[in-house]
Structure 1
Amino acid sequence: MAEFTALIPPTDSPSPAAAGPYPNDLPRPPGEREALERAWKPPRGWRRLSAVNNSQIGLYYIAAAMLFFVLGGVLALIMRVQLATPNSGFVVADTYNQLFTMHGTVMMFLFAVPVVEAVAVFLLPNMLGARDLPFPRLSAYAFWAYAIGGLAFFLTLFWSASPDGGWFMYPPLTGTRFSPGIGADFWLLGIGFIEISAIAGAIELIIGILFTRAPGMTLLRMPVFAWAVLVSAVMIIFAFPAVIAATTLLELERAFDWPFFDPLRGGDPLVWQHLFWFFGHPEVYIIFLPAAGMVSMMVPAMAATPLVGQRAVVVALIGVGAVSFLLWIHHMFTSGVGIVALVMTSVASFVVAIPSGLQVFAWIATFWSGRVRLNTPTLFLLGFHFIFVLGGLTGVMVAVLPFDWQMHDSYFIVAHLHYVLIGGMVFPLFAALYYWFPVLKGTRLSERVGRWAFAMTFCGFNLAFFPMHVSGMLGMPRRVHTYADGLGWNLMNLLSTVGAFVLAAGIALILLDVLRATRKPAGGEGNPWKAGSLEWLPQRSYGVRSIPQVHGTEPLWDDPQLAQQVEQGRWWLPGTVFGGRETLITDMRTARPIQVLRLPSDGWPPLLAALGTAGFFLLLTVQWIFAALLSGLGAIAAIILWTWQLDRAAPSPTAHIGGGVLLPTRPKGRRSHSWWACAILIIVDCTVLASFIYAYVHLSMALEICPPPGSALPSGEWGLAGALLMLAGSVLMLWNTRAKMHLRPEDQSALRGRTALALLCTIGAFGMALSAQLEAGLSPRADGWNASVAMLLAYQGFHLLILSVLGCYLLARSRSGHLRPDARATLDNIALIWHAATLQALVTELVLRLVPFLMT
């Protein structure tokens, strides 16, 4: 790669003015900007639905998330009317149960996580100096799956088909005995694929942050918001698979009577709680960390001084993300878990306050050392500090075991949760709306309206939720639809209801201000806050005119002329190389340019794939099996359609990016960003498998005899034969990717033969495993242990289905001539997935045999 990067200035070079000539000192050729604008021209009219560019998808994402925020808020207002007075009959108990379940579900799954991903999709490419994220169609698919599925899920309220078991859906309350309708199924299947959408967005963000930064933007020079989103996205990769596994197990119990959670048949409801809260508590920090990253970007701009202790803040972000995974038992202090686990989780709950507090002190120190402008973003930031610190203090209180035992499932916990989530995420979000709105329209929102909105939201929030601390300590439990007079809760509930409506009025004022401003023509204020990060460069549909070389953490402060230089096309990639959309891929560590990446244009396949995915899960819920299968096949067809042209060779093996610098355009193997995306997807897959293995181990340890009477494991010969077949298939795929094989036309026939043989080996291995278990008497409905074994086998079967589709796709690519030495990402990525599936099958076989052996 040295020949391609020798002319690029080192990342530790001095400022551009001192470093010598810019890459493009000569006047730019005529028509260059026009060609760039044509390549990135957004679709018009109804064709806007086919857009994939982050500037459009990010706005759609934010708008959809805010819509769900409003819908969830309306449900909360209905509940507050019901609780304003004792013995109220505004809504009946069944309706109230649906309301609080849908409120929590909408706010946690359809607003809180999606909105921080939405802001990241919109802002990060500009903040990193990239033209777009590396997988634009994946971003579009993730958005449409979330929006379509979320709206369909919310509409179940109007058909009395919504869930009523709480947003945490604890079994056995959500089993078929106590929840016989389809409401729980809508929650399980709907939320499951919405989480898949969140994971897709997280993969996009991780690869974008690591590989599409501006040249010179090393990890230590990266904006704090990018660090926060990176940590949050990595947490999604490890946390969300647990809830996907949990929802799968519960839906299998409901649909096929596999008793994972039925204690009368060898199941255990605690399996759900462990899996759910392994996702649920890190989710709080998945929501908070990007908001904290936004605060770390806004505070320096409002104080006109660099962030105090920026590297310490980055370390604190990583620390919060790591410690948060130790806290899931924090929600299970009253579930009967052993005292050692309780004490360790309590200690971890105190420890996580240290890095969180470090960030708060860094923000306060930055305000103290700068010249603070008391405008609307600053007011919301100050309100965030006050509310979030109070929420953190009550968090420390509920980390004390005796206090938690008293306050558990009381309104004190409701107050704490909202102080952390609304104070820690919603107030920074409102500050971000006022701070970054000029990036969208070039003009600021109304300062006068913003001050009134802040006063109403701040006062309304505290009036709504602070009294809940008192009512909780007076004994008011959560999730009750009414209460008797004379318990001392009347005044507190009335104050909370009044405060909720004041808060809602303030939020409505903000949204109306945003709607008013979006209808006005774009202005020309540019960078009204005089901020130093790259998103304040002149932006269009293609992002920046040329991608700058970065030399510090605040590029616009380091070089006040940078905006003019970028707009003149004096930096890297000032036009379109091949007439389409492109951006730079940079080294993960050093941020040196290593590749010109061709990006796809707008198209319909992501929307069609999202429609098919949503149709599959939603139709499956109402048991329209044939229609669900058709929708699933349609989704697969749309995904194949959008990927078919992506692995195509560029017209030239190299591309000029300016200053006589040439970069490659045809990466292979680990040099490809798509290879790394597949590696992250494999981590997600392995985390799901680990969740299923946990369920198997947990249920095995609960048995007096493992396997239980009447059950047995198959003989070792079957397992050994299946393992050898899986290894043979993986070796054949490794043979396909060997260095000496150049994918010449004469090699294609042999490649197809080895691929087909590898697929047969995989099918044979799964057939052996399944036959052996059936011969040993496997009966998933018999007890929880048998069900957990069947789940592990079913997951192997799922991988077989995936490998079958991928194998056929690889054969089709080879047959059509699309698989060549300069376009082999399909082969490299499928081989990587194949090896991972083989390893998972071997680990599953080992665990199935090792656990009973250790139990004897």
Structure 2
Amino acid sequence: MNNTSASSSPGRATVPSRPRAARFSRVPETGTAPLDEPTVRRLEAIWETRPGWRGWLSTVDHKTIGIRYLVTAFVFLLLGGAEALVMRAQLARPNETLLTPQQYDQLFTMHGVTMIFLYALPVLSGFSNYLWPLVLGSRDMAFPRLNALSYWVFLGAGILLYASFPRGQGADAGWFNYVPLSSAAYDPGPNIDVYALGMVLLGISTTVGAANFIITFLRMRANGMSIARLPILVWGTFTASCANLLAVPSVSLAFFMLWLDRNVGTHFFDTSADGRALLWQHLFWIFAHPWVYVVVLPAMGIVSEALPTFCRRPIAAYAAVALSTVATMLVGFEVWLHHMFATGLPPLALAFFGAASMLISVPSTIAVFAWIATIWTGKPVFKTPFLYFAGFVLMFTVGGVSGVMTAAVPLDWQLTDTYFVVAHLHYVLLGINVFPVLGGLVYWFPKFTGRLMHERFGQWTFWVLFAGFNLGFFPMHISGLLGMPRRVYTYPEGMGWDTANLVTTIGAFVFAIGIAMFIGNALASLRRGERAGPNPWRAAGLEWSTSSPPPPYNFAVLPSVRSRDPLWASDAHLARPGYLLHRGREALGITPLGGEPDVILKMPDDAYSPFVLGVSATFVFVGLLLHSEALTALAALACAAALLAWLWPRKELGQREPFVPEPAPPVDPELDPGFDPEAPGSDDESLALPVGSAGEHAGGWWGVLTLVVTEAALFGYLIFSYLYLASQSAQPWPPEGLPKLGVSGLNTAILLASSGLVWLAGACVRRARTRPAFWSMAAAVVLGSAFVGIQFFEWHARPYGIASNLYGSLYFTITGFHMAHVMAGVVMLVWLAVWIARGYFDGRRDAALNIGGLYWHFVDVVWLFIFSVLYLSPYWFRSR
């Protein structure tokens, strides 16, 4: 990528003249030569969060947010574990009456929701939020405020999902929430509404977090950290984040459609009105099967990153492990019907998806053999983290083998809805997640806290957990093979399940004791643990080149990487310090593939807007749950105000003043005798980089690009639902006759014309023609508003409503989703016109204009697909 653009004016950002820090192995405290005290104090003043409640609410520090994710996820782990123990007490003996059927339904549903959605991924997000900038050699995540928003929305969603549980009104149809069991006819209370709205809110948190990880992966890395030199840790979270962008819209749409069925009277899943219950399963499992790998691949990344430290060698077959991570997720998207083999699918579909389900074991096996090879060819050091990682390899193998067994269609028909599937699920989602998480906590505990956890007690804890886990969940395989169905709250004597259930219950309590021991060890070590230096494990990653805990700015001098394992590198590949940025919150942006310096990014300060937006968004869903139009409207206005404060442009962030970072101090030759001042690159080097963000350098441009991807997936699932239901309908389609193309065709032309005017406004701004730019943008606003008005007229003229029939439900939902995007886009265009008139944009400062234009063009392109499907495809359906 070119280092300059037509929309940006490069400043002079000078690479320090090969300031030659001491080798990481020789100066483990910092990995760089010591900076003068005024520079360090200035960096701390720039990056440190203010003390007190103001800082607590406004911080955007990735380390603080990562710790919050970890702590909150562990609280949910304890809640889910307590629910599991109560259920196991109920199932310990036949004919137990500790719980009523209704109480058991809520317990097993909330247990699944908690462990799968509120613990498994958020705890991994905690690791990634804390560690990514450190292992990538960066100052922060790509979007610090978006990072904070993701946490606040996650917390709000978790509270919302649990709000009705103490009143006996929690979700009670299983975490998979199959219809028609979850429809209003069979479950009329607020239980399912809470679940549906909570999951939509949680989907927002997951999606914005995924976008942040993806752009951080692409843009926020150390100089020289190419794709081939990335820490193996990041591949799992990056792949999972890409999957989240594409998969989460599916389940969010499914829950929103279910909420509409229950509260508005739509007919998406109503079989009595030509809807289809199987549509729910398609939408749910399109999300849920990739989600298994979403909560597994980052955990695999933890093992692949930390296991080599205790084997004293790099990971075996790095490239194969990275590629297998990507391949696992790609194949995972193709096998959602694996969960629907018993629904009456055609034989061809069964054969194809059965084969694909077995194929997915191949990339997973590559990772297993790489871990085994790493251990076999290394020199293992049997510390507590190593035990957790080795135990994980065993859990991964057991869970994988039972998964391949259910890929065989005849066997799956026998095992579906038995406890064998429950055992497989726990080995995959608990064993493959919890053991790497606990091992990772022990491994990075010194980095988090500056102290080591107690080693001997930690090993005792591992063996208690390992024994309890296998004692608790392996007998479930036997229960399932003996025919015990899942989701039963009790069972009669004489079925052959008594012993297996008793052993399972004992194992569950032993496992709980192990978790309590781990938490006790962590809390005690936090106060009295042995103090750790920067790199107590003698590890290879960049995170161990900083102090423990790291300073607020992570790296005083951003490192320059020439090796995949910089702290183990030979003299020829030492990680060298690079840019010294201390004139504000600044970070280095690099090219996505080569890792070459591309831009000096201005990072945002701490702000209240993420907290306000997260709380307001939560209350929007509370208002929907309570059917309170006033509360919903007030919360939506608060969201709009927070967004406006968030997005308001600041002139100082767009200034292109010359920027010259001061070079780091020279290195004492005694500390780095391998430094050759005559070596290539040893002389003064400078590189012209844009300062700030504009054009393709703008972080917001990349962020909106990810928004376009996930919104395109959302509309894709809407169109899929339309085509699926239309193809399955036994009624004339549409029932009210063929749509008229005149008004809708005119509206299409209006919207496309507005897109051209937005492009013209941007072109005028880049030519410093402010007045034509303003009037072009104003005309685009008029045309966009005209589209909204004509669409409302067309809605009013329809002889049916959203609840009249299935076609009406589809038509008004699809066009309504698009209308919401158009109205948001019109508001965005209005503010862009205002900012153009006030002179915020010029030929060098146009990032917001490019971002708004990208969004508006996307909205227009989506309408072309909607027009083709809603207005043109009925002619094809009628001609069949």
**TM above 0.5, one fold?**
yes
Q: How does 1:531-610 map to 2 (within 5 A)?
A: 531-538=539-546, 539-558=550-569, 571-577=577-583, 580-610=584-614
Distance (whole Å) between structure 1 residues aligned to residue 435 and residue 658 of structure 2: 47
Greater relative contact order structure (CA < 8 Å, 6+ sep):
2
User: Does 2:353 align with 1:342?
Assistant: no
Distance (whole Å) between structure 2 residues aligned to residue 55 and residue 779 of structure 1: 50
User: Does 2:686 align with 1:664?
Assistant: no
SS of structure 1 residue aligned to 2:555: coil
Aligned to 2:765: 741
> Deviation per CA, 1:305-337, whole angstroms, max 9, x where unpaired?
011110011110110010000111011111112
CA contact (8 A) 2:240 2:297 kept: yes
Distance (whole Å) between structure 1 residues aligned to residue 32 and residue 295 of structure 2: 44
Structure 1: give runs of 5+ residues left out of the alignment: 18-23
SS of structure 2 residue aligned to 1:572: strand
Aligned to 2:864: 842
Distance (whole Å) between structure 2 residues aligned to residue 380 and residue 688 of structure 1: 39
> Deviation per CA, 1:163-187, whole angstroms, max 9, x where unpaired?
1111111111111111111111111
CA contact (8 A) 1:778 1:790 kept: no
Deviation at 1:222, TM superposition (A): 0.4
Say which is worse superposed, 809-818 or 231-240, in terms of deviation.
809-818
The 1:422/1:473 distance shift into structure 2, 3 A limit, reads same
TM-score (norm 2): 0.92
Deviation at 1:645, TM superposition (A): 4.3
Match of 1:819 among 841, 845, 858: 841
Deviation at 1:784, TM superposition (A): 1.8
Match of 2:384 among 376, 379, 399: 376
The 1:119/1:27 distance shift into structure 2, 3 A limit, reads closer
Deviation at 1:652, TM superposition (A): 3.7
> Deviation per CA, 1:282-308, whole angstroms, max 9, x where unpaired?
000011111111111111111000111
> Match for 2:754: what amino acid?
G
SS of structure 2 residue aligned to 1:590: coil
CA contact (8 A) 2:694 2:846 kept: yes
The 1:71/1:26 distance shift into structure 2, 3 A limit, reads closer
Deviation at 1:516, TM superposition (A): 1.9
Match of 1:501 among 504, 509, 515: 509
Aligned to 2:625: 621
Aligned to 1:41: 48
SS of structure 2 residue aligned to 1:573: strand
Deviation at 1:703, TM superposition (A): 2.1
Distance (whole Å) between structure 2 residues aligned to residue 218 and residue 239 of structure 1: 28
> Match for 1:759: what amino acid?
V
Q: How does 1:522-533 map to 2 (within 5 A)?
A: 523-533=531-541
CA contact (8 A) 1:585 1:595 kept: yes
Deviation at 1:346, TM superposition (A): 0.7
CA contact (8 A) 2:210 2:242 kept: yes
Deviation at 1:519, TM superposition (A): 3.0
Aligned to 1:715: 740
Distance (whole Å) between structure 2 residues aligned to residue 140 and residue 671 of structure 1: 23
Distance (whole Å) between structure 2 residues aligned to residue 10 and residue 553 of structure 1: 23
Match of 1:680 among 698, 702, 706: 706
Aligned to 1:752: 774
> Deviation per CA, 1:567-610, whole angstroms, max 9, x where unpaired?
xxxx2232412xx2111000111111111111112121111111
CA contact (8 A) 2:740 2:871 kept: no
The 1:378/1:607 distance shift into structure 2, 3 A limit, reads same
User: Does 2:647 align with 1:633?
Assistant: no
TM-score (norm 1): 0.94
Distance (whole Å) between structure 1 residues aligned to residue 369 and residue 497 of structure 2: 37
Match of 1:358 among 361, 366, 370: 366
> Deviation per CA, 1:444-464, whole angstroms, max 9, x where unpaired?
211112111111111101111
Count of residue pairs brought into register by the alignment: 837
The 1:725/1:219 distance shift into structure 2, 3 A limit, reads same
Q: How does 1:129-528 map to 2 (within 5 A)?
A: 129-520=137-528, 523-528=531-536
Distance (whole Å) between structure 2 residues aligned to residue 30 and residue 165 of structure 1: 61
Distance (whole Å) between structure 1 residues aligned to residue 470 and residue 245 of structure 2: 34
CA contact (8 A) 1:380 1:427 kept: yes
Distance (whole Å) between structure 1 residues aligned to residue 489 and residue 651 of structure 2: 56
> Match for 1:533: what amino acid?
G
> Match for 1:85: what amino acid?
R
> Match for 1:839: what amino acid?
V
Matched-pair identity in %: 34
The 1:807/1:521 distance shift into structure 2, 3 A limit, reads farther
Distance (whole Å) between structure 2 residues aligned to residue 813 and residue 559 of structure 1: 53
Distance (whole Å) between structure 1 residues aligned to residue 159 and residue 793 of structure 2: 42
SS of structure 2 residue aligned to 1:649: helix
Deviation at 1:113, TM superposition (A): 1.4
SS of structure 2 residue aligned to 1:811: helix
SS of structure 1 residue aligned to 2:586: strand
Deviation at 1:122, TM superposition (A): 0.6
Aligned to 2:785: 763
Aligned to 1:21: none
Deviation at 1:778, TM superposition (A): 3.4
CA contact (8 A) 2:454 2:529 kept: no
Distance (whole Å) between structure 2 residues aligned to residue 777 and residue 156 of structure 1: 39
Aligned to 1:795: 817
SS of structure 2 residue aligned to 1:193: helix
Match of 1:700 among 715, 719, 726: 726
Distance (whole Å) between structure 1 residues aligned to residue 126 and residue 757 of structure 2: 42
Deviation at 1:514, TM superposition (A): 1.4
The 1:151/1:27 distance shift into structure 2, 3 A limit, reads closer
> Deviation per CA, 1:689-715, whole angstroms, max 9, x where unpaired?
011111110111012354144x12331
> Match for 2:341: what amino acid?
F
SS of structure 2 residue aligned to 1:477: coil
The 1:368/1:594 distance shift into structure 2, 3 A limit, reads same
> Deviation per CA, 1:419-451, whole angstroms, max 9, x where unpaired?
111121111111101111111122221111211
Deviation at 1:398, TM superposition (A): 0.5
Distance (whole Å) between structure 2 residues aligned to residue 149 and residue 7 of structure 1: 45
> Match for 2:272: what amino acid?
L
Aligned to 2:851: 829
Deviation at 1:816, TM superposition (A): 4.3
Distance (whole Å) between structure 1 residues aligned to residue 59 and residue 717 of structure 2: 36
Say which is worse superposed, 471-480 or 646-655, in terms of deviation.
646-655
Deviation at 1:651, TM superposition (A): 4.5
The 1:848/1:37 distance shift into structure 2, 3 A limit, reads same
Distance (whole Å) between structure 2 residues aligned to residue 596 and residue 454 of structure 1: 45
The 1:6/1:109 distance shift into structure 2, 3 A limit, reads closer
> Deviation per CA, 1:514-539, whole angstroms, max 9, x where unpaired?
12222348934221211111111113
> Match for 1:701: what amino acid?
S
Deviation at 1:769, TM superposition (A): 4.1
The 1:280/1:27 distance shift into structure 2, 3 A limit, reads closer
Deviation at 1:42, TM superposition (A): 2.2
Match of 2:64 among 53, 56, 59: 56
CA contact (8 A) 1:277 1:329 kept: yes
The 1:760/1:691 distance shift into structure 2, 3 A limit, reads same
Deviation at 1:550, TM superposition (A): 0.6
Aligned to 2:646: 642
Deviation at 1:388, TM superposition (A): 1.3
Structure 2: give runs of 5+ residues left out of the alignment: 5-9, 24-30, 664-684
SS of structure 2 residue aligned to 1:842: helix
Distance (whole Å) between structure 1 residues aligned to residue 87 and residue 720 of structure 2: 38
Match of 1:732 among 746, 750, 757: 757
